[in-house]
Structure 1
Amino acid sequence: MAAAAAGETPPLQANYVFGRAWPDLNEGLSYTDTFCGADAETTASLINFYSENYKSSAPLPGWIHRIRNGQITVDGQVVTDPDMILREGSKLVYHRLAWKEPFAPHLLQVLYEDDDMVALNKPSGLQVLPKGIFQQRTVLAQLQWKEWKMPPSSCSKRKNVQLHPVPVHRLGRGTSGLLLCAKTKLAKVQLASYFAEGAANAEKKRDGTEVGKERKISKFYRALVTGILEHDEDVVTQPIGLVHYPGVAEGLYVACSSGKPAMSKVCVLERLAHQNQTLVQVEIHSGRPHQIRIHLAYIGHPLVDDPLYCIGGQPKFHDLESTSTDISFAYDGGYERPLQPVPGDCGYHLHAHWLVLSHPTTNKMLKITAPLPHILQTREERCDPQVDT
C-alpha cells in the first residue's frame, strides 16, 4: 500500500480499482500527409503517392483496394478513383479500419492520489501508451475514460489541471507495478525532469564525474533471474542502444557499446539454489527501454522466462516467417500481419516495487509501494503478513 512521509498533506482516497472493459474493436487510425509538387513526376496520382511512399504498408493492389473502399480523403472529400491527379498542398488522410487488439487486462489499482499526481499499480500485459498493434488497449485510454477528482475551482492550480492524468514514464508491457501519472502540467514537467536527471547522472557517474545533487526520485524493482549471483551487490553500467530486429520496425534495444549510458544497482535478496534462480532488487539510475532485462542478461543472469533477451544482453533471434513477397493482402488492403504483439514483450518476472520521490509541488519526500506478485516475494514475506510487500 502507499505511504506518505510525516507532515505530508493527506492523499485523496486511494487503494481502489477502476477500468472499463475494452470494446471489441478499436476506433481505427488516421494518417495525414500533405502532397508536395516537387515529387509530381512520380507521385502525381493518388495511387502513385501511396504505393510509392508506403510500400511497407500494402502492395499496389492493396492500396487500390483501400482507395476504392473509401478509406482515403483528399482535402476532406472521399476519393475512390486511384488515378486522381493531386494538386500542390493537397491534404491526404488515410483512414485505417478498426481492428480487434490482442487480449490485455483493463483494471488498474490506484495506490496514491492527490491534486497533483496519481500512482497506479499496472498489471503485466497492459501497454502504457499507444504503439503498434495496441492503439486503444492502453493505460492512457483508461486514464482518459475515467472521471477524476480534480482541484476545486477556487484552487489556484485549477488552470494548471489537465483533462486527465498522463503517464510521466513508461513500464514495459510485461512489467507490472508502480506507474506515476501527472494530473497537472506543472507536476508533469517536474516529474519528467526527475527522470531526465537520473539519466544525466548515470552518464556522469559512468564518466567518473561526481554528482553532488540530491536525487529527486529513486526507483526500485523486484526481479527473478536465472542462475545464482555470486556477489551480494553489483553495479551495471553497460550502455543500451538500438539494433535491427525482425518484426520491430524501429529496432530493438540491446546491450550496445555505442548506445546511451545506463546504470542499474543489483542487490541479492534471496538465492534459490534448488531452482537455480535468484531473487533480486534493482535500483535504476536511468530509464532506458528494457534496461533491467538487458542489464541482468548482460551480466549472465537473464530474467526467468524472458523470451527475448539471453546472456550478454542480446536478443534471441528466432526463425521468423519471412515477409510475403506476393501481391496478396488482408481485408484492410495491407499485408497479412502477425496476430500476436511484438515477440518477447511478456512472460518474464519484473515488478516496479517501490519508489521514493520529492513531491512535485510540496517538495516533501514521499514513498509509494506496489504490492508484490507472489512469485517475487521472499520466504519471509510469504510467511509474515506484517512484512510490507
Structure 2
Amino acid sequence: MQTNRNGKWLEFIVPLEWDNLSIESILKDKWKVPKKLMHEFRMEKAVRINGEFINWTIPLSSGSVFEIAIFRNEDYGVIPQDLSIEVLYEDDHLLVINKIAGIETHPNAEGQMNTLANGVAFHYQQKNEYHRVRHIHRLDKDTSGALIFAKNALSHVMLDRLLNERRIKRTYYALVHGVIHSSSMIINEPIGRDRHHPTRRRVSKSGQPAITKVKVLKTFTKEKMTLIQCSLETGRTHQIRVHLSSIGHPLIGDILYGGKPIFKRQALHAGKLTFTHPFSEECLEIIAPFNDDPPILQKFSEQTHGN
C-alpha cells in the first residue's frame, strides 16, 4: 500500500480489496487497533474520508482518500543525550538502531541517562522531530544489534502485534563455550524465574514455553568454541542465554549463566531483522553489522557480516 504524509495526516487510497469496509472495520479488523486508541481517534476526530468527517460505520468505496492524524508532537519521555547512535533504517513510522553493548535499552529509573532511549530522543531532537521514545522489543545490556522503535502510537500497536504474532523474525549470532557437533538443533524448554536470584532465569517445568532454533556456523576446536546462529520462536527474558547454558554451552562472557569472562561482554549479537512494514507492506531485511573489539571480531564478525 502506498501512503503519503501530509502534515499530521497519513493519507492513502482505499484499495479495491477494502471496498465496502468502514473506518471502524479497517481500524479494528485490519489494523487491530486497541479500544483505547480507537476511542482517542474518535474523540480527536482523527479520521477523514475525502477530506470530510463521516460516520465510522458507513461503507467506503475503493479509490477514496483515507486520512488519519497519527503524526503529532509528543514529549520524548526521556532526557535526550548525544550517544552517537547508528541508524540502520528510518522512515515516518519506525526507527531501527544498531545498539552497542554496554548500555541499557531504556531507563529503569526516572532521570537515568546513558541508555539507548536517551540516544534515540537526541536523534529525534536533532531532526526537529518530537516522538515519544517507544521500543518494540529489548536487548540485554551486554547484547548488541538491531532494535526497533516506533515513531507514533499507531505504528507502535501494529509493530507490537507483529512481534506478538512472531512475524518479526530476529536472527542472533553467538559464540559459545565448547564444540557443538550437531549441525542444528531445537531447544524446547520452558523458562521461569530463578527463586534464588533476582535477575536470573532458568529452565523450569513451571515456566513459560520457550523455543530456540540453533544452527552451527563454525567450530573452533583449538579454542573449544562454536559460532552459532539462533532464531527465536518465543521471546522470553534471557532466552538464548538460558537455553544455551542449559545444554552445557553458555555464551562466552556471560558470567551470570556460567560463561567465562574471555571477552569484556557476552558474545551475543542481534544481527538481522526481517518483517513486513506495517503500512507499506514492503518486506524489510535489516542487517546490523557487528562493531566491537578485535578479539571478538576475528571469530565473530566475518560470519555475522556474511549471513
TM-score category of the 2 structures, normalised to the smaller one: 0.5 to 0.7
1:239 correspondence with 2:190: yes
Question: How far off its partner does 1:292 sit?
Answer: 0.7
Aligned residue number for residue 274 of structure 2: 356
Tell me, yes or no, if the aligned pair for 1:143 and 1:164 is still in contact at 8 Å. no
Q: Cα deviations across residues 122-166 of structure 1 (Å, max 9, x unaligned)? A: 010010122269922211122223326489xxxxxxxxxx62442
For residue 352 of structure 1, give the secondary structure of its aligned residue in structure 2: strand
Largest Rg, 1 or 2: 1
Aligned residue number for residue 381 of structure 1: 302
Aligned residue number for residue 192 of structure 1: 160
* Cα RMSD, aligned residues only: 3.0
Question: How far off its partner does 1:106 sit?
Answer: 3.0
Question: How far off its partner does 1:8 sit?
Answer: 9.4
Structure 1 gap ranges (5+): 1-6, 10-104, 152-161, 199-215, 317-345
Aligned residue number for residue 283 of structure 1: 231
- The residue type equivalent to 2:194 in the other structure is V
Tell me, yes or no, if the aligned pair for 2:105 and 2:138 is still in contact at 8 Å. yes
Question: How far off its partner does 1:226 sit?
Answer: 0.3
Sort the Cα spacing of 1:108 and 1:245 in 2 relative to 1 into closer, same or farther, 3 A: farther
Q: In structure 1, how many angstroms separate the alpha carbons of the residues matched to 2:134 and 2:193?
A: 26
Sort the Cα spacing of 1:132 and 1:258 in 2 relative to 1 into closer, same or farther, 3 A: farther
Q: In structure 1, how many angstroms separate the alpha carbons of the residues matched to 2:157 and 2:126?
A: 20
Report runs of 4+ in structure 1 exceeding 6 Å deviation.
Answer: none
Tell me, yes or no, if the aligned pair for 2:203 and 2:242 is still in contact at 8 Å. yes
Question: How far off its partner does 1:261 sit?
Answer: 1.0
Q: Cα deviations across residues 45-99 of structure 1 (Å, max 9, x unaligned)? A: xxxxxxxxxxxxxxxxxxxxxxxxxxxxxxxxxxxxxxxxxxxxxxxxxxxxxxx
Q: Which fold has the larger relative contact order, with Cα–Cα distance below 8 Å and residues 6 or more apart in sequence?
A: 1
Match of 2:97 among 120, 124, 129: 120
1:111 correspondence with 2:88: yes
Tell me, yes or no, if the aligned pair for 2:85 and 2:120 is still in contact at 8 Å. no
Q: How many residues align?
A: 222
1:309 correspondence with 2:257: yes
Alignment of structure 1 residues 23-172 onto 2, 5 Å: 106-131=83-108, 135-146=112-123, 147=125, 149=127, 163-172=131-140
Alignment of structure 1 residues 255-334 onto 2, 5 Å: 255-310=203-258
TM-score when scaled to structure 1? 0.52
TM-score when scaled to structure 2? 0.65
Question: How far off its partner does 1:381 sit?
Answer: 2.9
Q: In structure 2, how many angstroms separate the alpha carbons of the residues matched to 1:150 and 1:388?
A: 36
- Give the percent of matched residue pairs that are identical in Structure 1 and Structure 2: 35
Question: How far off its partner does 1:188 sit?
Answer: 0.8
